[in-house]
Amino acid sequence: MARGNRYLASFLLISVLAIPITTNAGARPQESERQQQQGKRNDRNDRNEKKNRRVYDREHKDYHNWDDNEDRNYRQYLDQQHQDYRDYSKQNRKQQNDYWKWRHEHTDDNGQR
């Protein structure tokens, strides 16, 4: 009978020790979901920061806010120059300067330069 009690005691001890492990395993999917949601928010913020950034115009020595409005003007410029779209930041310095020269000569619909 003593041997049976040892097995029973061992079984109970293992069961008690296993409860926290199974409880934590159940909480991980929620934690993972929270991390995914946080990651999505960070991705949106990164995209907004890329869309809304300040760009320095070397020729005119001023800054411009690169937002949706500026992006529209940039695309209009490329269209008028018969150029395919290429991200402004990937253009070389001469091409960027050409854009700002054009931009200072043309106002947008809001009368802004």
Q: pLDDT tens digits for 72-103?
A: 999 999 999 999 999 999 999 999 999 999 99
Residue 26 CA to residue 35 CA, distance in Å, equals 16
What's the token pair of residue 93?
A: 């310095």
The per-residue pLDDT of the chain, averaged, comes to: 78
Considering the entire predicted model, what is its pTM? Answer: 0.53
Side chain identity at residue 113, one-letter code: R
% of the chain beyond a pLDDT of 90: 40
Taking a C-beta distance cutoff of 8 angstroms, is the pair 103, 73 a contact? yes
- The pLDDT of residue 82: 96
Q: Is a pLDDT exceeding 60 seen at residue 44?
A: no
